[in-house]
């Protein structure tokens, strides 16, 4: 169940901080999630403390994405009154010209949220000129990646608010948008006026537009990490069952275990569940997780929680493997010749 109240967000942030203490190599990923929960709980000063902890020069594990962390810190600072410091960090992010789209999106949207529309447009444009070949007049440009598309959509939205006419970047945004409602309608500044209308047809049309916009947000945010199934290599499963024989009812044999993984993933896929993956467990890691939860490793209900935690730590491998790739089971055969073979 996802957290719904500030108290739930704080509890989840504290759980992630404890988990980071157990897995130092995943500190950055876990503390960024913890900071996000603290921001949602309104504990923005505590979130800043976590960002500073990740950016400290003498950290045991130097941040792999310091520019992204600085962008998140700037956005957070501005939200609780530290505008001057936030602006200085944003200027630094722009000057560093990162190749990752995420910091650009964060600082541009922060400027937009505080009505700095011209600067937001300039930031979106600067990022696109750096990361994506400009589209030729009257034609399509390079295909933007999934990560680059928020730059296009954000720039389109800001230019719509500024009353700017369409250019080739805006045309590309329209081309790649999958929303059933055109971007010009989604980003229309006058849309809000229709909410005060007495005309039922206008109200229904506005509700449809809002639903389409919310659908796009849900698609982007509903799966922060894959729905993952737990895989035990043969040696690890043997060690697990030696230490905890009662789990043999869950894992009658390694072959059955592998077959169950593939069958479960196919069933999830057939039901329409997106973003599937596999996480590989180890006995020491599982025992540490059980201790952190105050539970016994013999508790069967702990196994899916362990899989979810591994996925949240970025340990999931996407399923199904790409064409020609080796099977996830580690047999050395291609997936299509192993567990991916059709009956």
Does 284 reside within a domain?
Answer: yes
Range with the largest mean pLDDT of 83-97, 152-166, 197-211: 83-97
Residues 199 and 232 in one domain: no
If you count them, how many residues does the chain have?
Answer: 343
Range with the largest mean pLDDT of 19-28, 45-54, 215-224, 316-325: 45-54
Q: What is the pLDDT of residue 2?
A: 47
Residues 201 and 278 in one domain: no
Residues 106 and 246 in one domain: no
Residue 57: pLDDT band (50, 70, 90) is confident
Residues 265 and 206 in one domain: no
3-state secondary structure 221-270: HCCCCCEEEEECCHHHHHHHHHHCHHHHHCCCCHHHHHHHHHHHHHHHHH
Q: Are 139 and 171 in contact (CB under 8 A)?
A: no
The CATH number of the domain holding residue 72 is 1.25.40.10
Q: What is the pLDDT of residue 324?
A: 83
Distances (CA, A) of 288 to 131, 297, 302, 317: 42, 9, 12, 22
Residue showing tokens 């849900």: 218
Nearest residue to 195 via CA among 182, 208, 214: 208
Residues 235 and 203 in one domain: no
Number of domains in the chain: 2
Mean pLDDT calculated for residue range 288-312: 86
Asked whether residue 265 carries a pLDDT value surpassing 90, the answer given is yes
pTM: 0.61
Does 35 reside within a domain?
Answer: yes
Asked whether residue 1 carries a pLDDT value surpassing 60, the answer given is no
Q: What is the pLDDT of residue 192?
A: 45
Does 342 reside within a domain?
Answer: no
Residues 31 and 81 in one domain: yes
Asked whether residue 237 carries a pLDDT value surpassing 80, the answer given is yes
Percent of the chain with pLDDT over 90: 46
Q: What is the pLDDT of residue 190?
A: 63
Does 36 reside within a domain?
Answer: yes
* 207 or 98: which leads in pLDDT: 98
**Average pLDDT of every residue of the chain:** 85
Distances (CA, A) of 171 to 118, 165, 317: 20, 11, 35
* 142 or 14: which leads in pLDDT: 14
Residues 169 and 22 in one domain: yes
What is the extent of the structural domain holding 301?
227-337
Residues 168 and 149 in one domain: yes
Residues 159 and 245 in one domain: no
Residues 137 and 255 in one domain: no
Separation between Cα atoms, residue 18 and residue 31, nearest integer Å = 10
Can you read off the two tokens belonging to residue 180? Answer: 């059933």
Residues 182 and 76 in one domain: yes
Does 165 reside within a domain?
Answer: yes
Where does a domain end: 221, 246, 266?
221
Q: Are 168 and 140 in contact (CB under 8 A)?
A: no
Measured at the CA of 129, the angle between CA 128 and CA 133, to 5 degrees, comes to 90
Range with the largest mean pLDDT of 175-184, 190-199, 209-218: 175-184
Q: What's the pLDDT tens digit per position in 145-193?
A: 888 999 999 999 999 888 888 888 898 998 888 877 788 877 776 654 4
Residues 199 and 246 in one domain: no
Does 66 reside within a domain?
Answer: yes
Q: What is the pLDDT of residue 215?
A: 57
Residue showing tokens 């043969």: 234
Mean pLDDT calculated for residue range 312-328: 85
Does 172 reside within a domain?
Answer: yes
């Amino acid at each position: 169940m996802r957290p719904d109240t500030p108290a739930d967000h704080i509890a989840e942030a504290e759980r992630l901080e404890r988990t980071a203490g157990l897995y130092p190599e995943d500190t950055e990923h876990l503390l960024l999630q913890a900071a996000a929960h603290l921001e949602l709980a309104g504990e923005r000063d505590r979130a800043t403390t976590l960002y500073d902890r990740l950016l400290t020069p003498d950290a045991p594990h130097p941040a792999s994405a310091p520019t992204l962390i600085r962008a998140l810190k700037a956005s957070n600072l501005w939200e609780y009154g530290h505008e001057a410091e936030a602006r200085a960090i944003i200027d630094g992010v722009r000057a560093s010209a990162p190749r990752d789209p995420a910091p650009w999106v964060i600082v541009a949207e922060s400027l937009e949220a505080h009505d700095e529309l011209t600067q937001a447009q300039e930031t979106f444009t600067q990022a696109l000129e750096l990361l994506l070949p400009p589209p030729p007049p009257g034609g399509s440009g390079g295909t933007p990646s999934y990560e680059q598309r928020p730059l296009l959509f954000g720039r389109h939205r800001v230019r719509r608010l500024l009353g700017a006419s369409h250019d080739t970047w805006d045309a590309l945004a329209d081309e790649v948008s999958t929303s059933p409602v055109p971007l010009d309608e989604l980003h229309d500044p006058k849309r809000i006026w229709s909410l005060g209308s007495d005309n039922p047809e206008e109200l229904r049309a506005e509700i449809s537009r809002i639903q389409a916009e919310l659908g796009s947000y849900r698609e982007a945010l509903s799966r922060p990490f894959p729905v993952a199934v737990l895989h035990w290599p043969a040696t690890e499963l043997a060690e697990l069952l030696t230490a905890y024989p009662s789990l043999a009812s869950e894992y009658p044999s390694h072959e059955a275990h592998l077959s169950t993984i593939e069958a479960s993933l196919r069933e999830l896929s057939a039901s329409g569940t997106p973003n599937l993956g596999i996480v590989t467990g180890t006995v020491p890691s599982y025992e540490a997780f059980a201790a952190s939860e105050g539970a016994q490793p013999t508790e069967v209900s702990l196994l899916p929680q362990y899989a979810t935690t591994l996925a949240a730590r970025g340990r999931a491998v996407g399923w199904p493997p790409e064409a020609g790739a080796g099977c996830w089971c580690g047999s050395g055969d291609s997936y299509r010749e192993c567990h991916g073979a059709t009956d």
